[in-house]
Structure 1
């Protein structure tokens, strides 16, 4: 039995391309799962903060943030957000940048590590990204994060204790250190079986192709000297 392909995904819940990449990955894996010899795949999400210096309560909208913090003209930012919204729609996602509340995401990442321990990381990652990009929820606030954790099937009191204790911050920093060691400076970034790196929100077909390729490689018999 060939071991499952491991896909490690570095992302930030406040990264619009990360949610698109997540959805495209899921579609690609679903496509490959219909194969007669379907690849077995395990996906794990890892922490990456795009803007770790962002305050919890940023005064202003996404246009303000990108124009102030990235030195971009508001007109340029507006065009960029319209483009991203269009690409998101193609992936089946309904982005609302007009509702978005820019915030620091470190606590959301801590909660994702708690969810990973509880076997609910995928559910929470989906819930957080949907809340941030489509519902305008404030993901820097403890009460909001706890509410979203319960939506993902986690215990509210345990989620709150995990956030207040800060005990998952070390795991967040370890993910970030691993990203630095890999030379990852932008997300989403996908590491396939520890040997292939895929950068950016690739189309679903690209993800289907690479898991099929890696699955076939892993099933090839090792060369044995006569």
Structure 2
């Protein structure tokens, strides 16, 4: 079994690709395991969301999305929302609950889709609950344990681990021997970088 730590944020369009790579790799090779760690790119995004254009020039966003859409097309990813960003704190905590329930990959797939294909505000409880319902989670229990602070320790541990590893961009894949891969490319090349 080869284990990887993956630092990722649902608000990151590149992380949607990184997640898709990890999912495909685990389907191809059951001896590979990915452990996803929550990484909030911007914890200060207000509940109503904000525009990327407030901090990144429009031309730069458009240029980045040309590459993102090219890489994402290999996995059938849809990027309709290219300018709105949302606070992912609640979503990360719900994903930790989904992980405990054995449904992380299903939950994460719906979460990325909600943000980038549907442009939904994942800072809202009703949106996160809808994602949870789609994958068969007990959303009453999910919200209760989140509100009780059950995942605060895991969130803090992930933050500390990100600092310890010097994470500066996401997604970052770290193999158990310390090798790290951050630059996304097409699947076969990325797989070679990751495994060789």
Q: How high is the TM-score relative to the length of structure 2?
A: 0.88
From 60, 68, 72, the counterpart of 1:88: 72
Cα gap change, 1:155 to 1:202, in 2 (>3 Å)? same
Match of 2:59 in 1: 75
Q: What is the aligned partner in structure 2 of residue 175 from structure 1?
A: 158
Q: Could you say which structure has the greater relative contact order, defined with CA pairs below 8 angstroms and 6 or more residues apart?
A: 1
Larger of the two Rg values belongs to structure: 1
Report the alpha carbon displacement of residue 133 of structure 1 after superposing the two structures with TM: 0.9
Alignment match, 1:17: 14
RMSD, aligned CA: 2.1
Kept after mapping to 1: 8 A contact 2:181/2:194:
no
3-state SS of 2:85 partner: coil
Q: Which residue of 1 aligns with 2:52?
A: 66
- Residue 155 (structure 1) shift: 0.6
Residue 192 of structure 2 is aligned with which of 182, 205, 209? 209
1:113/1:194 CA distance change after superposition, 3 Å = farther
Residues 1:12 and 1:67: Cα distance change in structure 2 (over 3 Å): same
Residues 87-121 of structure 1: CA distance to partner in whole angstroms, max 9, x if unpaired? Answer: 322332111125x6421111111111111222222
Unaligned runs of 5+ in 2: none
Q: TM-score, structure 1 length as denominator?
A: 0.78
Query: 5+ unaligned residues in a row in structure 1: which ranges?
Result: 34-38, 60-64, 214-226
Count of residues in Structure 1 that have an aligned counterpart in Structure 2? 196
SS at match of 2:97: helix
Residues 18 and 201, structure 1, Cα contact 8 Å, conserved in 2 = no
